[in-house]
Structure 1
């Protein structure tokens, strides 16, 4: 496996070496490139690794604007590198830069706190070039606005309405991502940076560059409520979501011969341009501040992760929408909320009562939805079309998880209740075969099992059904026991009377007791023939009295506690001891009588 990874790693190292170049010179490396259809983007891992390797806080400076407006030349001037060594500069009608490129050697400047800050310069493909879709330009603009600490909008003349409209999707996306639904202390997903409107024009009609830009961004009167004007005003008003402030800067044309600029040094360029260029470089570095994401300083690694995530979100649909991108950022949060809901159930022991299960579900649902609302990215539902979709999806996923939990609770309840029911049914079967049959014992021990074993274990949805089954088993088994009980008691009384007749006639020879046994025997044998059935006999008063006497003898504190056999054994032992002692005394009395006779 190590051998298989060696070749890709060597190729990646070679590519990185090519991007980084020698020393601090640096090179331009692609970070994002267009796919073949020129409608979507793809991440280039060589440039991404360059960004990822930057340690400490970063401040991306991104230049956007129309194609062939001098963006790449401007960046080379700010970096003080030649066109051959810096970003590619073209002189044809086709755009030279494709996608987004990064300069591999960031300029390190100190922050106000004295911390080193890496200012990363990025060039972008110009909009309105041939062979591209509008959605492609939207993707480039949106990514540039989201990741930049300083966004330079390079315009060859003045700020046109179409130039502002080009920012509409980036503004809508910022409106979705820069707003949170949490409390006022919530950090924005991505803190907006600064924006520089760079106007390359010599004549502004007596106005300063800042005045000209301010006029272009001012609200337009709309007395007739024109929808197009409303849209323009909304975009202008929302520019603060893309940038904390908008700074205008005028830049004189460097030379009349634009095609030969790359071969000219500062001495050959317009002196005003050289001074303005130096001031612009200072302005950019002053405006460059560490990029923040969720209140945390963004490093090169986090910037690379953001680029990957935004490109993936922008590519989810053929025509990207704010809702789909916001949802993409919230998808990970959605999964965490679902995991949070599921994890809360680990402390809940199944089975449980359905009401308790529903109460826990409501508690866990409230916690998960509260966590989502506190940490989700996106503006309010009034600002983002379909902003409630992901929340509804979260509710559906949680409801699905709750359905699974209810099913698990039902199965566990059935398992536990069936086990407890079987145990009580086994108790009924054991009581059927007791040596000394007792209705009271049969009833008490079953009720104990029903209350303690079944009632203590069986809860949940299966309770009522299994309880009814257990009661049905009780009715069936008790009816069978009662018939067998009466038959066994009757037969036992007949056998006892016969045993009494034999004992009192041949062993003890007690005639009154023998006669009583005969009377009882004749009664027991004759009474069933007098009545219509044994069932009628068992319903008679004398039989009920007999049962009461038997129940007292068979199930009392002595027999219940297990002392009956021990007491009987003790009485028998004492009787045997007394009998032996009496037998020993008789020979002694006979010897004494013989002595007296002599």
Structure 2
């Protein structure tokens, strides 16, 4: 895929925050729909007036773009987007999302803040939380939005067959939640614990350290910290010093780098390098990678769901996105086949061999394109649609090719026969010895017909029909020839019948030969289809394995830390989540190990084209024998 982001001079609003609530901007969705590259999505959230936009401009490689503002008024409303080519991942697009400031006193809507935070989590592959000062208890408490995620996000649809009361949604969040980066701005303290200098990451982990005890105060203290630890698979911290002296902070967007603090620039560079290197391609449940086009579906689905006062469901969002994507994949894949065959139609009539060969090539190309674009076609509904459309068109093309061949052959025979028709009208063959002259003229005409190239698949059949049509005429000339004895006439009549039967046998043999060749071609095509589908299935299974492995690794790491720090009760609770992930992993392994699983699931789909072609050609072959 080469369709990257269009040049964007500045960010655009992706999700508006209006009096009627959050709503998508169609022009921005259209921009995303044109991006066929995988997207790495970085969203920044945080309290208003904490300098979020500056970091996003740095990531975009620009000094300005996202509005920084220079007053206490929040400048960013809704969610703004900037799509740029990824600086270190070729053929990838970096999508930057700048969200409106949380806790804006002018807005005064905490529910709105919760949804903005929720959308940033749902849409990003890396979530940057921006705050000022230090990571103390007050700073952690201001991130209380993370505690609301379990009530604002649903993993599975109601009544899902995979629903498990012992495995609530929260334990699955780690599978698809973004990486978490805490950017602490205007940090002036020393990072020391027990008089020892510590890294930024250890500083963060210390701030997220849980307290022991069962009192309400302890539970309240731990709650936000537990949510952060449980929900986000990786956590990273950067502490930024003041970029310049406070009185110049309002002009940050137009200050030259030479005027900024070197330590601040150093941290900013490390921050950008980390985001560029460690941020993964955005994926959804099942490990499926997201392109800009798919991302537009996600955005619209989530915002429309929130607008309808419903809770966004990850499973439903993926299903809806897959439905749109797979419809598009069928359309574009079929277009490839249709356009290719349309070019071949210009050469009709042709023999079945070249037609079959081109059909195999183009149907394979179309299927590869479908498999490249499609995902989560679990019931094989869409690939079956593609095969049915291709098979139907091919069947129609076989008929069109035959019709063209029949039309050409009829005209050719008519043109070649015209002199003989004139002779009959003039009585040339009505004289003694006329039958012999007639046969000589007819044989010469048939020879010319057979020497004519590019007659197509109906050549022999049309010649058979011609001889049958002219048999009465031939017989009349034979019987009227007074030069021949009765015995001569009977022998000639037998020869005429034998010639017609021989031509009939040629037609049937040709049909059977065409059928056999086409079926052999289709068998090879079926084997190719099975191989492509097996590769696609293995790719999707691999993504699911990676997703489960990442979640399992994260949970085991967190459990080990809980054990080491004496939180055995919490470690025990995590054991249930870990056990559930292991069960899912084992189920995946069993399916992969089942030798009959693939053939049972895919063989009917792969055979579809063969069955359609076989029935079409066998019918035509049998009709020739009647």
TM-score by length of 1: 0.46
TM-score by length of 2: 0.44
